[in-house]
Each structure stands twice: as C-alpha cells, then as structure tokens.
Structure 1
C-alpha cells in the first residue's frame, strides 16, 4: 500500500541520504576557518576571507536543499500531472514497466494513475557497481512495490513488445558507464510495443543545476550524453520537455 508523503519528505530524503557531504562540508569549513585565524593576515583581509568562506559554504550547503524542496515537495512532481502531456491515451495503457536503482517512490503512484494497467517493477541496483552511500541508505527506507525483481541493466526479463510504457524516473543517472546506459535503453526499446514510450526524468549537468548543486551537478549527465545514449540504443527521436528549470522529461517512442 502506498504511504502518504510527509511534508518536506523530498528534501529530508536528500539531507538524510547525502548527510556525509554535509558532515565533510562542515568539517572542512571549520578547518579553513581555523587556518584563516592562524595565518598572519591583517584584520581587514581576515574578515573579508572569513565572510567569503561563510557565504560560499552556506550557499553550497543550503542551495541544494532549497532546490530539492522546490522540485520534490512544492512543484507537484509526485502528483504526476506532468505525465498528462507525455501519455496521450492513458486508458489504452495495458502494461507499465517502472525501473529504479533501488529506491522506489513512484510505482504505487503509477498504479494509482493507471488503475487498469499491470505495473511491473525492476530494480537494477548492483552493490558492486553502484557504491555511493546515498543509494545504500535510500535502499534501507524504500517502500518496495510487490514482486519487484532484481535485474541486470543489459537483461530485462520480458519478451519483445511487452510494455506500453517504460519509466526511468530519477534513476538512470546512477549508471555511470555511457555504454551501460545505452544497453539499458536498448533493452527498454526492445520490450516496448510498437508506438510504446520510454519516459525518463533526470536532472542534467547544465547551468541551472550547477547553480542549484554547485560541484554536485557532476553527479548528473548532460543532454548530449543522454541523446547519444538514446541514439546508440536505436531510438530515432528524443523529445525533451522541462519540468521546472532543474529537471528534464525525455520521451522516446519505440
């Protein structure tokens, strides 16, 4: 059964899963502040350096949380109204495949939006390949959809033309290898019925996300990287729409 989202659940998840970054950030700020105090600097220089450091660290620590709150708690992302623009005939959807990286907040919502469809959920998390602490922590609190199956990214255990819609919602960036991305998308195309869609939502490695996450934006991939991955997977067209300035919805027809 789907659990009701708590207030600020999105930003609290980001803070909890990535708490090591905040610990390291505060420790490094403390060390730099100490170094400034110990260096033989004149008072005006010391004061200026202190304020610059405080401003830079405050921005780097607080801005990702503000943007995450906007995207995941206030934009309506989990209401899925944005999906109406991507799926023209929702009543014609017979089977949905939702693929995650070990943290699933969307399968129950998809089932609610497509009550007549069969929802199949796959988890491509691989402990040897996907080693970031945030993923490990997220897996401990995820609400797993019934009969979720573990898969390899190059082998989705379904026959050809089995699904009307395949979703990759804020998950595919966990695959760091560009070749592996293409292989997963190739499998997604294989299991899609003719005219079926692969719908992927991702932050991008672009200027808005740099402003939002500073150096953390390197965890995501550029539009060109995703375009090449879709092309290598055999898709002829990749349509992108923006959901907030910080997230992109990619819609590809098989």
Structure 2
C-alpha cells in the first residue's frame, strides 16, 4: 500500500503538470526583456518586469510546497476536528477528478473501513494539460469506478464519510455541482458527512496564484451550492490560509 510521499512531491507535481505554463511564462519574460533592452528603457523598468514575473512563477511553488509538503495535509490528522477521535467509519467514499493521491492514505487511516473510490474525470470536458499529465502518473486505487457526476452508483443512506479532496472545483458548472452534491447527500447516512477540501477564490489564493485563483470558487459560491443541494449544516474551517475544509451534513 502506497502511503509515503517523497520530499517536495507536491511542488514537483505542480512543476511537472504545469510545465507548459512555466515554459510559456519564461518565454514571454525573455521576449519582454529583449524588447525593453532594445528600446533602451530604464533598467528599473526591466527589473520590475523581472520581479513581477518571478513572483508569478515562484510564489505558487512556495505556497504549494507549504500546503502540500509541509502543512501535514496528507497525514489527515486534521480530520480529528471534523469527525472526532472515536469515529470509526465503516463505509467511506473518496471521489476524485482523475488524479488520486489520497485513497491509499485514507485506507491506511481507516484500515477496518470499506473504502470505495470513484473518479468523475470526463475526457471530453476535462482537457486541461495539467489534468491529462496528472492522470498518466496517478496511482489508481484497486476497483476505482469511473462515474458521471449526475449519478453515484450507491444505495441511498449507505455511506458514513464521503471525501471530495481538491476535486469538486473541476466541475465548472454550478448547476452540475448542485446535482453532483445532491447525489453525495443522497448516498450519505443521516449521520454521515461530506468532507470537501478546496482552495478558494479569495485574497490569500490571489496573492499565491494571481489570475490562477479564478480556477477556484468563492466561499459564498460553495455555501450556496451546498444549500441548494439540500445540506442544512455547513461548516468551513481553514487548513492553512490557502485551503478550506467544508464539513457538511
């Protein structure tokens, strides 16, 4: 069972999956420096451009290293606050969007539980190069089932814990997110919980990822979507300034 992560695996993943972004950014920077130099513009302007591009390229890596390599995110000790020390779940579902780094770890965390893994990756809709590359190296948990967001093939009121770990934002349509979360609510027991972890479209993530923060959704948007999906209790807690844990029941 694969549960150990390599040093700096999180930031290396970001670099590997988004190498097109970094390659394009460095190319644009080189072109701008050449143009500014040939135009004999003040050196302060050139250094300002270099500083801005360096910030945009390096800060996402620094934040990713902090969140995914040094914060303890993957040891799941933060779950104690969400489910309690005495919680022994029997039926767990982990749903990903084509890249699964957590199922083996969750199984190790809950060795006596029945863990089912689903993947809602849609090859026609999820065409971002980062996702395509991530899928090529992603470990596939045994018996992972590919599903559509409108239907989770499980009985009603049958699941104790359902995890959506940095996956739900890949559903770009808010209407589709509502339908998907209605399914998540349907399969959970009355005492069950949906635990979703997401970056948000907020100030900290703007400072970390600049325009890349638009790939995420705001806290207000998620709260509205959960309410429209029928959840009556929605709690949000910060796991680092850059990630939020939503616990819904």
TM range (shorter): over 0.9
The answer to whether residue 106 in structure 2 is matched with residue 145 in structure 1 is no
3-state DSSP of counterpart to 1:78: helix
- Aligned Cα root-mean-square deviation (Å): 1.1
Matched ranges for 1:156-195 at <5 A? 156-195=152-191
3-state DSSP of counterpart to 2:101: coil
For 1:76 and 1:241, how far apart are their aligned partners in 2?
15
Q: 2:84 aligns with which of 64, 81, 88?
A: 88
Q: Which runs of 5+ in 2 are unaligned?
A: none
Map of 1:204 onto structure 2: 200
Please list every run of at least 4 consecutive aligned residues from structure 1 whose deviation after the TM superposition is greater than 6 angstroms: none
The answer on whether the counterparts of 2:3 and 2:108 sit within 8 Å (CA) in structure 1 is no
For 2:101 and 2:190, how far apart are their aligned partners in 1?
28
Offset at 1:92?
3.3
The answer to whether residue 128 in structure 2 is matched with residue 101 in structure 1 is no
Q: Which runs of 5+ in 1 are unaligned?
A: none
TM-score (normalizing by structure 2): 0.97
Offset at 1:113?
1.1
Q: 1:101-133: per-residue Cα shift (whole Å, max 9, x none)? A: 011111111111111110000000001111111
For 1:90 and 1:9, how far apart are their aligned partners in 2?
31
For 2:126 and 2:182, how far apart are their aligned partners in 1?
20
TM-score (normalizing by structure 1): 0.96
Map of 1:36 onto structure 2: 36
Alpha carbons of structure 1 residues 31 and 99: separation in structure 2 relative to 1, 3 Å: same
The answer on whether the counterparts of 1:104 and 1:142 sit within 8 Å (CA) in structure 2 is yes
